[in-house]
Chain A
């Protein structure tokens, strides 16, 4: 091809495709995912919000203007914008902003930690049942079927009620509730992936079961689990605070966001809506942020959407 006529229009589509392909190959899967995720504005804002909430919770003692447990009865139930108390005070005269700041320590931990802890267990169960199938795999799935017969919220409440209130018990209840759902996601992905040609090829090339599971299946099964787990964190923030709301979760006077919403319920009918509304709103925002990130990761992993 003569170069004189081309000028700046010289980008041949074939050459452009080659460089894109080379670019993609040189990057690892998480790096690629991050590149795609960065273009999703909602996901980036959500990550910002969660990082902010986490940092605030970590540095709570430095940031909170007041003691979250110590109230001033003379100022009880004063509303939003009270001088010195930006978000007002609750029924016991405690500063709502300070309680929110400390509350992240409970509400975020209680939701995220159980999901993280349940993931490896679910991975083990799901991959075992999905890859080996047969009678034992089937038996595992039948046991899970029994757990799916209970609505999630009900199962969590029942387990929490049996274990009794307390931080570690809520986390245990949530973790136990989540394992079957996460295991099912892994199971489905494993069954789908096991049927694909690359697994067949690895088997034909003489890879051991352990190698296939770890090197071939694990990376591909992990993706849906990460997507599901991220959205699950959002759901669990709502559920964990809900358990505290019902009195089977984090125990008062700890400033968990669910406990705070519950505190607000008793004064709501007296016309003091802010005590319950503010912490509930924070729960909503945190949950929405997790869901938006989950959506973003899903789209980032979807090869059909990679270019758009």
Chain B
């Protein structure tokens, strides 16, 4: 197997707080191959956004530190890069799109000026060349009337158009990897779908790999090839989307799947569609991790005594699907025993 485009190994991102060190990302590892799409799902506070920001080292606030791990991008560790080298990478070979489409553009500059600024910065183009490339970028995101849009201010565009411009800004320099942090949450449902489809098309046309950070299982099912489920700063399950969605292993993933609303066509009673939505009890914890044990234990329907005290092991099931859970480990051990027994 060739080297992946991005390999994150045992990433640790910590925040200093009054309550102690918050391990927002606590030993996260994953790969994204060239042209791949990885979905990263979890509740707010699970550390999925912080993971995305850590890759570009954009944590900003003074009390956030990347305390350990490696972020190998095209074979080089981003954590050893200087700030100037990182600036060349940001927007150049790795781009990021954030969730607030309405406010992600500078209201005081024209769309064209903002595109030209980034293009000239990374590719050292002349003004004329940059303008041409800016136009290409707008065409790429299929914005209607791109020539006129170059001269527009952000407030003159609709929410969907603004998000398309943001995507154009991120893709202008043809990056290898796009980190999309909930890029559709602030948008209408129909616009959401368009943006998701746009990202998919771009992935196919340009081969841009995408790290899709989202809380929406639907988005993952729609566009991702692999998925990682985060809970309290750790990946609790990962694998191919088809496997994880069909046979979720971790109780948290099962809960997430059960809480995705879906329309059934079967008629209930007098043609009403009726289904009770599953809800995971309790709320996401602050990842302070004061004790060992599984962080999901307080909310887990399958919790046992060892879950409170011992870190759960990683259990593989099927092709590349892995979950971190005592219950699954037990079941697998029991199964192996049966198999051995039968075999003996």
Contact = CB atoms under 8 A, between A and B. Distances in A.
B288 interface: yes
A13 B286 CA distance: 7
A205 interface: no
List the 7 closest pairs (A to B, CB-CB), nearest first.
A9-B290, A13-B286, A13-B19, A5-B291, A13-B288, A5-B309, A2-B308
Contact of A5 (B19, B286, B308): B308
A12 B20 CA distance: 11
Interface residues of A, number: 11
B145 interface: no
Nearest to B293: A5
B309 A2 contact: yes
Contacts of B286: 13
B54 to A, nearest CB: 23
Nearest to B288: A13
Contacts of A307: 18
A182 B298 CA distance: 54
Nearest to A10: B290
Interface of A: 1-2, 5-6, 9-13, 16, 307
A86 to B, nearest CB: 47
Nearest to B283: A14
B19 A16 contact: yes
Contacts, number: 23
Interface size classification for chain B: 10 to 19
B260 to A, nearest CB: 27
Contacts of A16: 19
A9 B18 contact: no
A6 B308 CA distance: 11
A1 B19 contact: no
A13 B20 CA distance: 10
A1 B288 contact: no
Contacts of B288: 13
A249 to B, nearest CB: 47
A252 to B, nearest CB: 55
B308 A1 contact: yes
19 contacts: A1-B298, A1-B308, A2-B305, A2-B308, A2-B309, A5-B291, A5-B292, A5-B309, A6-B291, A9-B290, A9-B291, A10-B290, A11-B290, A13-B19, A13-B285, A13-B286, A13-B288, A16-B19, A307-B18
Contacts of A11: 19, 290
Nearest to A1: B308
Contacts of B305: 2
A5 B288 CA distance: 16
A50 B292 CA distance: 54
Nearest to B309: A5
A307 B290 CA distance: 22
A128 B309 CA distance: 63
A134 to B, nearest CB: 31
Contacts of B19: 11, 13, 16
A20 to B, nearest CB: 10
A10 B291 CA distance: 9
Contacts of B292: 5
Contacts of A12: 290
A286 B2 CA distance: 72
Contacts of B285: 13
A99 to B, nearest CB: 49
A55 B290 CA distance: 52
A284 to B, nearest CB: 34
Interface string B279-317: 000000110101110000010000001001100000000
A307 B18 CA distance: 9
Given A9-B291, A11-B290, A16-B19, 20 more contacts: A1-B298, A1-B308, A2-B305, A2-B308, A2-B309, A5-B291, A5-B292, A5-B308, A5-B309, A6-B290, A6-B291, A9-B290, A10-B290, A11-B19, A12-B290, A13-B19, A13-B285, A13-B286, A13-B288, A307-B18
